[in-house]
Amino acid sequence: MLISYLQNCDPPVLPRLQEDFRSDNRGKRMVENWDTSYAQVEEALLKSWPKNKESCAQLLIGYFDYYLDSISETLWFNVDEK
């Protein structure tokens, strides 16, 4: 869950290697009909990668907020007074 959050925060802390660095000019490595290749990261792309300037505390608060919002949307509490 932590890796997913760090890949989806704005700007991301961790890259999604299969998505962010995907290019059409890489060779595919197929294993049992699965594409197991990783993109080659180019130096220019690394330099243009956005830098996240949030502190560890801000990232931790954002992590809890991110998942608390997703959990609160799925949970409903019903209080019956008798």
Q: What's the pLDDT at 72?
A: 63
Q: Are 67 and 1 in contact (CB under 8 A)?
A: yes
3-state secondary structure of 69: helix
Summarised one tens digit per residue, pLDDT across range 48-67 is 778 889 999 999 999 999 88
Number of independent structural domains in the chain:
1
Q: What's the pLDDT at 40?
A: 65
Kindly report the pTM of this predicted structure: 0.58
Whether residue 79 is contained in a domain is answered as: no
Whether residue 82 is contained in a domain is answered as: no
Whether residue 80 is contained in a domain is answered as: no
14-18 contacts: CB < 8 A, separation 24 or more?
15/49
Summarised one tens digit per residue, pLDDT across range 8-63 is 888 888 877 766 665 555 667 788 888 777 666 667 777 777 888 999 999 999 99
Q: Are 9 and 52 in contact (CB under 8 A)?
A: yes
